[in-house]
A and B are shown apart, each in its own frame.
Chain A
Amino acid sequence: MIGGQPRLGSPVSFANRINGPGSIQLWGTAMDQARWDKIQSLFHDAAALPEPKRLPYLRSVCDGDEVLVSEVLALLEEDAHGASLLDRDVSEVAQQILGDSTASLPFKEFGPYCIKKRLGEGGMGVVYLAERKDLGSLVAIKILRDAWLSPSRRERFATEQRTLAQLNHPSIARLYDANTSPDGTPFFVMEYVEGVPLTEYCHERQCSVEERLRLFRAVCEAVLYAHQHGVIHRDLKPSNILVREDGTVRLLDFGIAKHVESFGESVEQTATGLRLMTPAYASLEQIRGERVGIHTDVYSLGVILYELLCGRLPFDLSGCTPAQAEKFLTEREAEKPSSVMWQTSASKTSHKGMAAFRKTVSPELDALCLTAMHKDPALRYHSVDALIRDIDHYQKHEPLEARPATLSYRVRHFFSRHQRSIAAAFMTSLVAAMAALAVVFAVRGKLAPHGALLNSKIASVAVLPLANTSGDAGQDYLAGGMTQALITDLSKVRALKVVSRTSASGNQTKAESPSQIGRELNVAGIVEGSVARSGNSVHVSLELMRANGTPVWAETYDRNIEELQSLQRELARQIIRETQITVPDSEEKQLADSEARTPEAHDLYLRGRYFWNQRTREGLLKSVDYFRQATIADPSYSEAYAGLADAYVELVAFGNLVPSDGLPKAKAAASKAIALDDSLAEAHAALAYSHAAEWDWVGSQKEFQRALELNPGYVTALYQYAYILSMVGDQKESLSLAQQALQLDPLSPVVMYRAGRVYFHARDYGKATSEFRRILELNPNDPLGIYGLALVLRAQGKFDDAIRYVQRENLQQGFDLASTYAAAGQSADARRQLTTCVLRLQQQKRYIRPGWVAEVYANLGDNDDAITWLERGYREHDDFLALLRVWPAFDRLRSDPRFQALVRRMNFPS
C-alpha cells in the first residue's frame, strides 16, 4: 500500500483534534483545569440552592474574587435558560448542514479541467468528457459518486494514484490525475479513448481465432506490465478493454476498481442486498471477498479468452447474488471451449465465421483457457507471463506448459464420490473413464494413458516447494516449513524415494511441465501445491500427479492454524496412501507418533527451519534465534533442539562460529533432543557432526548410521556423513552417500558443494569441477561454487584462473587469496595478503581459523609456521584439521615427522 504510513501529523485521525488549538481563554482569563474544577464545584453547590440564596452563597465562599462569582453566575444563567445548540436534537442540525445535497454534479470544474458532457454512468461512477482549459485536450473524468474520503485518507488516495499515473504502456489508458474534490469526492482524470469493447470488436469484424489471440495477447502484455509495476487491475472485463480503429487495444481503469469496491459495497448492500460487482469475470476467491492478486487478474483474463473463443461466457451468472455465484462456481466446471463451439456451430450453421472456429479451437486452446481460469488459484498460470508463454507456444505449435489441471478436480470429485464403493470390478471402468478424460487433456500429444500405467504404484516422488499464495512474502516460511515437514514425513517411508527440489534462489517460479521435472529428477510422481494463510486460517491445496502429467489426487484444505500439525501429518499420510505403496506398521506408527506442539512453538520452529534452509550466515543466526524461542515456548520440543544443533553445526562448518563456542552448543542441543526423543534422525546427525569435530570418528560414524537408520532419506545426514567419511579416508562409501544425497536433492547448492568436495578430496577433479559448475549454473555468484572451482584450479596448478575466481568473492576472509598467491609462487603477495587478513580479523576480534593460516604457510613452503598453526588448530578443534589426510596443500608436509605425529593424534580410523 502506497502511503500506508501517514505522514507525521498530517492526517486528521481519531486522536487528532477536529479543530485548531483553541486559545484557552475564558472572558479574558486563562482557564486551567484547576480553576474549571473549582467553578464547576461552586456551580453545582449553588445550583442546589434556591435561586435567591445563590449569590449570597457565592459571595461568602469566593473570598472577594468577583470574577469567579460572575463566571459561576453566568453558568447558572445558561443552565436555567437551556436553549443552546446542545439542547436541540442533532438531527435537526445535521439536516440543515448535510441535507442540502444538490443531486447533480456539484462542480463544473475539476482543477484545470472543464466538464463538457456526460459520457456514461455505471456502477459507482459517472464518466464525463472534459477539456483541459489551458491545452484544449480532451480527457475522461471518472467521478466516484457517493464516495467521500475522510480527510486523512485524501492524501493517501492521491499518493496511491500517483503510482497508477506512472503506468506508461501503449495499451494502458493513461491516468493523468486523481484527487479529491473539495468535498472529498474522489475523481480520476484519464486518457480519453475512443474504441469498441473487445468482444464487440471481434464479433463485428468476425475475427479469426488467430486475430482474437493476437488481441488477447496484447491485453495480457499490458496486464503483465501493470503487474510488474505492482498494480492489479481487479476488474478486467471486455468493457474495460477497448479496441481502437487502428486495431490497437487500450485497457481502462487500472487499479481503480479497488476504490470502487471499497466504496461501493455498503451502499449497494443497503439498497438491494447485492454486491455491486459483476461476478461474470470474477474468480471464486474474489467473490468470496478473499485477497486479490495477480491470480485474480489471470482468472479474469481466462474468462475473457473463453468468451473470445466461444462467443459466450463460461457460466451464466446473471442475476446471481454473490452467494449463488459462489455456489455455482464451486460446483460447476466450464465446458471445454472446443465443445461449446461444436454446439454453437451446429445450431448456427449460417454463421460463416464458425466453420473456421470449429477447426481452430483445439484441445491445446482448451487446456490453455481452462488453466487460466482454473478455480483453484494454485493451479492457474502463476503469472500472466506464463500465460503469454503458452499463447506463444500454441502459436508456434509447440507443446504447452499448461498441465491438464482442471482434470484433477474432476478426478477428485469422481474419486471422492466413489472411493468407498469402488470394487475391483468397478476399477476397470474407472480407469477407462480416467483414460478418456486424460486423452482430452493430453496436451503433450505423446501421452498415451492406459490402465496399467494409471494403476501402478508410485515408488518415487518429487516434492516441489509449496507455493506461498498468500501474497505476503512474510508467509514464505510457512510454505517452506510445510514443504520440509512433508519431505521429512514422506522420507520416513523406506519404500518411497522422496526427492526434494530445493530451488536455488528461493522463490523461483520456473514453469516446467511435470514430464520435464519427472525426467530431471528421475521420479514417477510429483507433489505440488500451495499454502496461503490469512489470519488464523490456512488454505492448503495439494496435488499428486504422475510424471507424465496424469493427476492422481488433489485436495484442498481449509483449517485453523492451530490444526496445522495434524494437517501436515494428514497430508503426508494421504499422499502415501495415493502412491499405493505398502507401508509396514512400524513406519506407519512412526508417522503417527510425532508429538503435538503448541501452535506458537510450532510456528517458531517452522520459521527456524525456513531460515536454516537458507544456509547463509544471517539465515543460520536467525534460525538459532527462532529455534531457541521454540524451545522456550515448548521445553519438550525435541525437533527444535535438533534444529538448534543443526544450526550450530552449519555455522561451525562454514567457519562462521568458533568451534570451541559452537560445538559444545551443538552437542548440548543434540543431546537434549535425543534425550527427549531418541527417534529423531536430525538430532543424531547433529550429534554425529559434533563428534566428528571432536575427532571421535567412531562415535560420529555410529550416530550417522543411527540417523540414516531412522530416516534413510535424510539428505542432511547423507551429505554430512559423506563429507566426514571423505576426509577420514573411506572414499568409496563417501562417494556412494554423496550420490544418494544428490539424487534426493538434486538442485540444492549445499548438497552439490558437499558432493563436489567429496570428489575433490578423492582428487577426482573432473567430477568435482562439474558439481561446482552446476552450482554456478543455478546462481553465477554463489560463493560455494566460486570457492569450489578456485580450489580445483589451484590444485591443478591453474593459478591465474584460480586467482581470478577467488578475487571475485571474499572467500575464507581473504585467506584463500593468500593461499593461492602462495601456491602460485607469489610469496610477497601471499605474505602481504596474509598479514592483512590476520590484522583485520584481530581488529574485528573475530576468530582466526588456524587451518587457513596453516594452509597459506604450507603453500609458501614454510613448514615450521604451518606446523605451529596446525598444532594450534588441533588444540582449538578447528575442523579444518580433519582435512590433514586429504588436503592437497598439505602434501608438502607429509614427510615431516611433526606432521605425521599430528596425523596419528587425530586418531583417524584405519
Chain B
Amino acid sequence: MRKREEKTVTAGENNLPPQAFDMPEEAARPELRRAIDDLFCATYEELRRLASTVRRGDPNATLNPTALVNEAWIKLAKSSELAVTSRLHFKRIAARAMRQLLVEAARRRNADKRNGGSRITVTFDGSFREKPCDAKNLLALNKALDTLADMSPRQAIMVESRFFGGLDIPETAAVLKVSEATVLRDWRAAKAWLARELRESN
C-alpha cells in the first residue's frame, strides 16, 4: 500500500500545478521568476556536486547543509544567476534545492532497497541502527510539508528554510517579513504538527 502511494507521488511530480508563490513580487514579473528558477537549478546542481566532492575527499566528513549552502553561495557568487537575489533570498532558494536534493536521494535509496538492494548499506554498528529509516522519514516529512503548505504556506516556508537551509531565527523572520516572536510561535506549532504526522506515517 505504502509502496503504491510512494510511486504515485513520484509519477505525479511532473505535472503539478505551481504552488502559490511565496514571494508575491516574483509572481508579477515572469522574467524574475525565470531567473529564480534558473538560480534554483544551478543551486541544486552545485549543492549536489559539493556534497559529492566533500564525500570523496573524506568519506567521514560531515555533510552540513548550512556549510554546503554557504559554499554554494560563494561558488555561485560570480554567476549571473545570482544577480537576481540577496544572500538571504539565496539561502531561502538553496533551502528548497536542498530539500529537493535530499528527497530525490531518499527516493532512490528507497527504490534501491525495494529492488533488492544493489548496494549494501546495512551496518551492524549500533550507533547507526536507526539511520536506515532516515530516507523514509524524510519522504514522510516532505509529504507532510506539502500538506502544511496548504494549511499555512508561511509555516511550510519556515520549516523548509530552517530545517533544510539552516536559516536562523532572525534570517527566517527577515525572509518572511514577520517578527522573531512570530517565527518562534509558528515554528513550535508547525514542528509539533509535523512530528505528529511523521509518527502517524510510521
Contact across chains for A150 and B146 when beta carbons are under 8 A apart? no
Which A residue sits closest to B130, measured CB to CB?
A96
Q: A74-B196, A78-B196, A85-B141 are in contact. Are A263 and B45 (CB under 8 A)?
A: yes
| Cross-chain contact A97 with B109 (CB below 8 angstroms) | yes
Could you tell me if A150 and B191 are in contact, using CB atoms closer than 8 angstroms?
no
Cα distance A37–B148 in the bound complex, in angstroms: 12
Shortest beta-carbon distance from B194 to chain A in Å: 6
Chain A residue contacts of B179, Cβ below 8 A: none
Complex Cα–Cα for A85 and B140 (A)? 10
Give the residues in chain B near A81, CB-CB below 8 Å: 195
Q: Are B19 and A15 touching (Cβ within 8 A)?
A: yes
Beta-carbon nearest neighbor of A79 in chain B: B192
* B146 touching A19, Cβ below 8 Å: yes
Q: Are the CB atoms of B166 and A90 closer together than 8 Å?
A: yes
A90:B65 contact, CB within 8 angstroms:
yes
Could you say which of A20, A37, A93 contacts B13, with CB atoms under 8 Å apart? A20
Contact at A33–B152, with CB atoms within 8 Å?
yes
Bits for A74-96, please: 1 = Cβ < 8 Å to B, else 0. Answer: 11101101111111011111111
Mark B10-23 against chain A: 1 for CB-CB distance below 8 A, else 0. Answer: 00111111110100
Residue among A43, A74, A85, A270 making CB contact with B189, cutoff 8 Å: A43
**Within B135-151, which residues are at the interface with A (CB < 8 Å)?**
135, 137-138, 141-147, 149-151
- The segment from A98-106, A842-850, A865-873 that touches chain B is A98-106
Within 8 Å of chain A (Cβ to Cβ): is B55?
Answer: yes
* B119 & A85 in contact (Cβ 8 Å cutoff): no
Q: Is the CB of A24 within 8 A of B151?
A: yes
Closest-CB distance, A270 to chain B (whole angstroms): 6
- Contact A19 to B49, CB < 8 A, known contacts A152-B41, A266-B75: no
Q: A13 to chain B: which residues have CB within 8 Å?
A: 18, 37, 40-41
Quote the shortest CB–CB distance from A665 to chain B (angstroms).
35
**Interface presence of A424 (CB below 8 A):** no
With most chain B CB atoms within 10 A of its CB, the pick from A6, A14, A19, A79 is: A14
Roughly how many angstroms separate A147 CA and B62 CA in the complex, as a whole number? 21
Find out whether the CB atom of B52 lies under 8 angstroms from the CB atom of A101. Answer: yes
Please encode chain B, from 28 to 55, with 1 for each CB lying within 8 Å of some chain A CB and 0 for all others: 0000010011011100111011111101
**Complex CA–CA separation, A252 to B172 (angstroms):** 49
Verify A18–B99 contact, CB threshold 8 A: yes
- Which residue on chain B has the smallest CB distance to residue A25? B147
Distance, CA A783 to CA B15, complexed state (A): 51
Contact flag A97-B135 (CB < 8 Å), given A15-B33, A103-B56, A150-B40: yes
Interface centre among B53, B109, B147 (most CB of A within 10 A): B147
Check B151–A32 contact: CB distance below 8 A: yes
A14 and B37 contacting across the interface, CB-CB below 8 Å = yes
> Residue B82 at the A interface, CB < 8 A?
no
B177 at the interface (CB under 8 A from A): no
Measured CB to CB, the closest approach of chain B to A793, in angstroms, equals 54
Contact B40–A95 (Cβ < 8 Å): no
Indicate if A146 sits at the interface (CB-CB under 8 A). Answer: yes
Contact B192 A36 (CB under 8 A): no
Task: Check B138 against A95 for contact (C-beta < 8 Å).
Answer: no
Residues of chain B contacted by A271 (CB below 8 angstroms): 53
Contacts of B121 in A (CB 8 A): 100
Task: Please determine whether B64 and A91 come into contact, CB atoms closer than 8 angstroms.
Answer: yes
CB pair A98–B163 under 8 Å, yes or no, is no
Are A20 and B9 in touch, CB under 8 angstroms?
yes
B101 touches A (CB below 8 Å): yes
Asked whether A150 and B63 contact (CB < 8 A) given A19-B142, A33-B151, A103-B56, the answer is: no
Given contacts A97-B138, A270-B53, contact A31 B44 (CB under 8 A): no
Q: How far is the CA of A692 from the CA of B60 in the complex (A)?
A: 88
A838 CB-CB contact with B under 8 Å = no
Given the interface contacts A74-B196, A147-B49, A266-B75, does A9 sit within 8 Å of B13 by beta carbon?
A: no
The one of A6, A86, A94 in contact with B195, judged by C-beta atoms closer than 8 angstroms, is A86
Q: Are the C-beta atoms of A96 and B146 separated by less than 8 Å?
A: no
If A86-B159, A95-B62 touch, whether A266 touches B199 (CB-CB below 8 Å) is no
Tell me the bound Cα distance from A33 to B155 in angstroms. 11
Would you call A15 and B21 a contact (CB within 8 A)?
A: yes
Indicate if A67 sits at the interface (CB-CB under 8 A). no
Instruction: Given A84-B195, A266-B75, verify A146-B53 contact (CB < 8 Å).
Output: yes
Report how far A74 CA is from B105 CA in the complex, Å.
31
Residues of A848-905 at the interface with B, using a CB-CB cut-off of 8 Å, are none
Are A98 and B51 closer than 8 Å at their CB atoms?
yes
In chain A, what residue has the closest Cβ to B149? A17
B146 near A18: Cβ-Cβ < 8 Å: yes
**A100/B189 contact (C-beta < 8 A), A20-B146, A78-B195 known:** no
Find B131's partner among A9, A33, A96, A98 (CB 8 Å cutoff): A96
From DSSP, what is the main secondary structure of chain B's interface residues? helix
Known: A14-B37, A263-B45. A86 touches B150 (CB 8 A): no
Complex alpha-carbon distance, A808 and B144, angstroms: 70
Whether A99 pairs with B55 at a CB distance below 8 angstroms is yes
Of the listed residues A37, A85, A263, the one surrounded by the most CB atoms of chain B closer than 10 A to its CB is: A85
> For residue B125, which residues in chain A have a CB less than 8 angstroms away from its CB?
none
Per the bound structure, the CA–CA distance linking A84 and B163 in Å amounts to: 12
Contact with A along B77-106 (1 / 0, CB 8 A): 000000000000000010011111111111
| Chain A nearest Cβ from B82, distance in angstroms | 12
The chain B residue sitting closest to A145, CB to CB, is B52
**Are B75 and A270 within 8 A (Cβ)?**
yes
- Residues of B within 8 Å of A12, CB to CB, are 13-14, 16, 100
Asked if B189 and A75 sit within 8 Å, CB to CB, the answer is: yes
Given contacts A18-B146, A20-B8, A90-B166, contact A85 B198 (CB under 8 A): yes
Does B25 make an interface contact (CB < 8 A)?
A: no
Residues of A within 8 A of B18 (CB): 9, 13, 15-16
The residue on B at minimum CB distance from A36 is B151
Residues of B contacting A91 in the complex (Cβ-Cβ under 8 angstroms): 62-66
> In the assembled complex, which residues on chain B have CB atoms less than 8 Å from the CB atom of A76?
192
- In the docked arrangement, what's the CA distance between A41 and B14, Å? 36
Taking CB atoms, residues of chain B closer than 8 Å to A6 are 37
Residue of A nearest to B33 (CB): A15
Q: Is A133 an interface residue, CB under 8 A from the partner?
A: no
Interface residues of A in 12-71 (CB under 8 A from B): 12-27, 31-33, 36-37, 39-40, 43-44, 47
Tell whether A10 is near chain B: CB-to-CB under 8 Å. yes
Shortest beta-carbon distance from B49 to chain A in Å: 5
B49-A93 in contact (CB<8A): no
Closest CB of chain B to A839's CB: distance in Å? 46
Residues of B contacting A153 in the complex (Cβ-Cβ under 8 angstroms)? 41, 45
Tell me how far the C-beta of B168 lies from the nearest C-beta in chain A, rounded to whole angstroms: 13
* A326–B47 CA distance with the chains assembled, in angstroms: 30
Partner of A19 from the list B13, B14, B97 (CB cut-off 8 Å) is: B13
Query: Which residues from A are CB-within-8-Å of B195?
Result: 78, 81-84, 86-87
B137 touches A85 (CB 8 A): yes
Contact A182:B108 (CB < 8 A) given known A9-B17, A75-B192: yes
Q: Is A148 an interface residue (CB 8 A)?
A: yes
Tell me which of B33, B49, B159 contacts A146 (CB under 8 A): B49
**Complex alpha-carbon distance, A539 and B185, angstroms:** 55
12 additional A-B pairs beyond A27-B200, A85-B134, beta carbons within 8 Å, are: A12-B100, A14-B37, A14-B93, A19-B9, A19-B142, A76-B192, A86-B195, A94-B63, A97-B106, A103-B56, A146-B52, A146-B53
Residue ranges of B at the interface with A (Cβ–Cβ < 8 Å): 8-9, 12-19, 21, 26, 33, 36-37, 39-41, 44-46, 48-53, 55-56, 59, 62-66, 71, 75-76, 93, 96-106, 108-109, 119, 121, 131-132, 134-135, 137-138, 141-147, 149-152, 159, 163-164, 166, 185-186, 188-189, 191-196, 198-200
Task: State the 9 A-B residue pairs at the shortest beta-carbon distance, nearest first.
Answer: A84-B195, A150-B44, A20-B12, A14-B40, A78-B195, A13-B37, A20-B9, A75-B192, A22-B147
25 examples of A-B residue contacts, CB within 8 angstroms: A11-B37, A12-B14, A15-B33, A18-B103, A20-B9, A25-B147, A75-B192, A83-B195, A84-B195, A85-B137, A85-B138, A85-B198, A86-B141, A90-B164, A92-B134, A93-B134, A96-B132, A96-B134, A98-B51, A100-B119, A150-B41, A151-B100, A152-B40, A153-B45, A263-B45
